[in-house]
Amino acid sequence: MKQLKVALIGNPNVGKTSVFNALTGLNQHVGNYPGVTVERKIGTATLAKDTKAHIIDLPGVYSVNPNSKDEEIALNAIFDASNKDFPDVIVVVAEVENLKRNLLLFTQVKDLGFPTILALNMADQMEKKGISIDVPALEKALDTKIVLISARKNEGIDELKQAVLNYSNYNTNSVFDLKSIDESYFTLLGHLYPNQNPYKVWLTQTGVFQFEQLSPVVSSSSTVQKSETELKKLQQRETIKRYQFINKILKDTYKIDTSKATDIRMKFDRILTHKFWGYIIFFFVLLLIYGSIFELAAFPMDFVDGLFADLSSWTSANLPEGKLTELLADGVIPGLGGVLMFVPQIAILFFLISILEETGYMSRVVFIMDRIMKPFGLSGKSVVPLVSGTACAIPAIMSARNIENPKERLITMLVTPFTTCSARIPVYIIIISLIIPKTYILGFVPLQAFVMTMMYVLGFLAALLSGLVLSKIIKADRKSFFVIEMPTYKAPILKNVFLNMYEKVVSYVVGAGKIILALSVILWFLGSHGPSDTFGNAEEMVAEKQMNERLTERLTEEQLASEIAGYQLEHSYIGIIGRTIEPVFRPLGYDWKISIAVLTSFAAREVFVGNLATLYNLGEEAAEDETKIIDRMANEKRADGTPVYTVATGISLLLFYAFAMQCLSTVGVTKKETNSWKWTFVQLVFMTAVAYVAALIAYQLLK
């Protein structure tokens, strides 16, 4: 079967990902570019019986002159012929409403010598916006194939596939005359690089990319060896000339009749980006999201929790006795259940967030948050890492590459882990469910959802205050300005929403599942083995203890079995480790089991509950016990008979996880991005100290 490589490229917010989803469906996966942690999407689409296309969705860019490391890495896919993603054909996705701006990138890509297709997305909005396009005339002027599509309504996708199939028929000549920028200079370049792509020669001169097939300049002529300032001026002149070229073409082929337009974006923007009401609306949006998590996910969460409790009991009762059965019943199954029980919450969270992104609302949130950032010494561009940190700190820290000022970039990377990532959600949900009653504020606001929202607010405030402190220590040598594009409001495409939700759930399950599986085996082994003089003689030690306590009533067989199991757990290797570290965490209200779970969850925050599930299952007296993890936690008692999970302990845990470094991977990416062990160590120590002190104060005041 014939294989084609197709690159999708376009400006941000033109619906490129929607086009990618329409072309590939579920035949896609998310990975990283080779050697770097920059996300890319790759999918396949069948074009004909004998032809399949491998489609790569490149990150959004405005031009082929990269402004960030991420853009540079992504553009290398179309610059470097040795790159495994180097395309046979490029589809430039543009938006009908912003065609002028989108065509700058198109003309640059076309001039690189690729067979290029222009896909005009959101064609279904043309009548509503009062837009008319003379497609044949525009095709002739741009010397390209144009396809009108609507990814939202799945219109024009078959025509786009057919256009890709016929890519070899398209002209690869340049569409823009570089000599219009500076005739003498570009004529000279043509003489020095005969039979070479003129635009690649120009990009080589400006240092955008060193194309291997181009010979270096050998002339010493001063007219060729331009200074950096002169090259910058020529680049600016290129942009101006390209827009003049685009304006001339669109004057005859692209019309907007404002009398027919029905755009209400400005009316919505005045409300959603208001200096006061914008924040109030966003706060209630968050309440709605977290209220949905608790209300809608309650039943499926209980169902999954009970299902794994039953599965653990069934495994123990029906499989042959032995270490393997114990490992499965007491280690792996409870641990995985502690992760999978949160799949409904994760799915609902990312379903709702995807809807906000699809509609264009999240860009408005980023815009209004910029006003808050400046007084705390952070760049306006710091909003992007801080907001994206609510998903995961690792890509959020890497997105700080877009901040040009080195010191502002450093501050942003150091404070981003304070924002509440999705890995903390399972911890927050289980603790809030245990200590916060299911009541309502003002009769309609769920108290649990309000507390969950405040955890996000608390993390964001911690990031701002830390940024303020660091800005006093690390002086920024110049101010930077925040520029963001407001996309048009769109009805969400449910296919995109579900695909995004599916990706996040799979990422959560696979990422946490691998770690919890390894930790479950380790915890089970450490909890099922111990020194022979104590763990190995548990029955004798318990019997001797009962004989010495003459006033105690004789225990039943079940009570005796429970006593022996508890004694073994306390004197197992995990019990010894737990009791060793417990003094460090006891002032925070944590017993040795919580201490172990907190310590091991540094590998990944979401495995906290899974680790507790394994630990609590190890000490059970009956193999047939079917108690769910949340009930086990609620019923857990201290030595004096008081509950372990009181309001004081719960608030202490919430604060500790709110402020502590997110995970070991975050430490690694901070080291990589800052290229400094010093700042990585400062970040880790500072966040740990803040988490410990906050949890300590909370517990001591509330106990």
Q: Is 13 annotated as a binding residue?
A: yes
Q: Are 376 and 386 in contact, with CB atoms under 8 Å apart?
A: no
- Report the pLDDT value the prediction gives residue 698, as an integer from 0 to 100: 93
The pLDDT tens digits for 643-684 are 888 899 999 999 999 898 877 777 777 887 787 888 888 888
Say if residue 689 carries a ligand binding annotation: no
pLDDT of residue 347: 81
> Known binder of ligand: residue 83?
no
335 is in an annotated binding site: no
Spatial distance between the Cα atoms of 181 and 177, rounded to a whole number of angstroms: 8
**Residue 14 labeled ligand binder:** yes
Annotated binding residue at 267?
Answer: no
Sign of CA dihedral 637, 640, 645, 647: positive
Q: What's the chain's Rg over C-alpha atoms?
A: 30
The answer to whether 15 is annotated as binding is yes
Does 542 show up as a binding residue in the annotation? no
Please give the pLDDT value at position 440.
84
* 134 phi/psi in degrees, rounded to 5: -85, 90
Residues of the chain with pLDDT under 50: 32-37, 218, 220, 222, 551-552, 620-626
What domains does the chain contain, in order, with CATH numbers? 2-169 (3.40.50.300), 178-256 (no CATH), 494-702 (no CATH)
Instruction: Give the number of other Cβ atoms within 10 Å of residue 318's Cβ.
Output: 9
CA dihedral over 543, 549, 550, 554, signed as positive or negative: negative
**Residues with Cβ within 8 Å of residue 66, at least 6 apart in sequence:** 72, 74, 75, 208
Secondary structure of 384-451 as H, E, C letters: HHHHHCCCCHHHHHHHHHHCCCHHHHHHHHHHHHHCCCHHHHHHHHHHHHHHCCCCEECCCEEHHHHH
**pLDDT at residue 345, as a whole number:** 73
57 is in an annotated binding site: yes
**Residue 258 is labelled as binding a ligand:** no
Question: Which residue, 248, 238, 264, 233, is CA-closest to 100?
Answer: 248
pLDDT at 699: 93
The residue with tokens 């303020």 is 468
Q: What confidence score (pLDDT) does residue 625 get?
A: 47
Bridge partners, 643 (sequence order): 637
Task: Name every residue whose Cβ is closer than 8 Å to that of residue 489 and which is 6 or more positions away in sequence.
Answer: 264, 265, 268, 359, 360
SS3 content of the chain, % helix, strand, coil (to 5): 65, 10, 30
Specify the pLDDT at position 557: 60
**CB-based burial of residue 580 (10 Å sphere; 0-12 exposed, 13-18 middle, 19+ buried)?**
exposed
Task: Note the pLDDT of residue 193.
Answer: 81
Q: Is 21 known as a binding-site position?
A: yes
Q: Which run of H or of E encompasses 8?
A: strand 2-10
How high is the pLDDT of residue 506?
A: 79
Which tens digits make up the pLDDT trace of 3-62?
Answer: 889 999 988 778 888 888 888 876 665 554 444 445 567 888 888 888 888 998 888 888
- Does 269 appear as a known binding residue? no
- What is the structure's pLDDT at 33? 42
- On whether 24 is known to bind a ligand per the annotation, the reply is yes
The C-alpha angle 324, 330, 336, rounded to 5 degrees, equals 100
pLDDT of residue 32: 46
121 is in an annotated binding site: yes
What's the confidence (pLDDT) of residue 153? Answer: 83
Whether 25 has a binding-site annotation, put simply, is: yes
Say whether 84 counts as a known binding-site residue. Answer: no
State yes or no: 22 annotated in a binding site.
yes
| pLDDT computed for residue 696 by the predictor | 94
